[in-house]
Amino acid sequence: MQLSIVTALSVASVAQAWVTPMGSSARASTSLNAKVYYSTSTGNTETIAGYISEAAGYDVEDIGDADDGDITGGDSFIMGAPTWHTGEEEKRSGTSWDDWLYDNLPNLDLKGKKVAIFGCGDQESYADYYCDAAGELYDKFTEAGATIYGRTSTDGYDHEASKAEVDGKFVGLMCDEDNQYDDSEPRAKAWVAQLKEEGFF
């Protein structure tokens, strides 16, 4: 009887030894299927990407360095761009996004992919074009079949107009590192919490 108990415990230990690494591997695999992509002109968008990355636990990469296979093979992505070419109808960011959105993205099938968008802009100097490039990301990723998460209220912002507004809400997280830099990190943390509630993660 004693021998049977020892044998059973030994078998249970072996089974547990196999279960634990598989669980770790699954977590590592999941983290590889999600990332924060951004591009920046002045460094502000990179700063916001860092806040989001820290809160979400995602790696960060410039979209100009991204492999298309990582995008199509992934599950969920957080995408961020600044607005540089104000008033333009396309290629508004002045970064690697301008070519990627029009040369790479049309060739990718993103049906079933989860995308959350953030943008950077200057409400005082460019009040009529605040975070317009984020609106361009929204349009292009929607066209590619992605599902957009993380719309936010326009309360607390001071701008006249934005192409990143759809049906009275921002299409994602908008930040102003020039005039509201103290709000950026708290906004990023609150947004990541919102995304969790929406089932993005």
Structure tokens at 185: 């990190």
Question: Are residues 91 and 11 part of one domain?
Answer: no
| Helix axes of 44-56 and 181-198: crossing angle, nearest 10 degrees | 40
Structural domain range at position 127: 33-198
> Is the CB of residue 165 less than 8 Å from the CB of residue 130?
no
Beta strands in 1-75 (DSSP E): 34-38, 59-62
Question: Are residues 122 and 92 part of one domain?
Answer: yes
Report CA torsion sign: 47, 52, 54, 57.
negative
> Is the CB of residue 91 less than 8 Å from the CB of residue 98?
yes
pLDDT in tens, 9-47: 333 333 333 232 223 223 233 344 789 999 999 999 999
Number of domains in the chain: 2
Question: Are residues 129 and 148 part of one domain?
Answer: yes
Question: Are residues 52 and 11 part of one domain?
Answer: no
Which one has a higher pLDDT value, 91 or 11? 91
Question: Are residues 105 and 70 part of one domain?
Answer: yes
Angle CA(133)–CA(182)–CA(114) in degrees, nearest 5?
A: 40
Total number of residues shown for the chain: 201
Q: For residue 60, give every residue at least 6 positions away whose Cβ sits within 8 Å of its Cβ, in sequence order, or none.
A: 35, 36, 37, 38, 46, 49, 50, 53
pTM for this predicted structure: 0.84
pLDDT band at 5 (very low <50, low <70, confident <90, very high): very low
Question: Are residues 167 and 74 part of one domain?
Answer: yes
Question: Are residues 1 and 77 part of one domain?
Answer: no
Angle CA(112)–CA(198)–CA(179) in degrees, nearest 5?
A: 105
pLDDT in tens, 166-199: 999 999 999 999 999 999 999 999 999 999 999 9
Nearest Cα to Cα of residue 57 among 75, 30, 38: 30
> Is the CB of residue 58 less than 8 Å from the CB of residue 37?
no
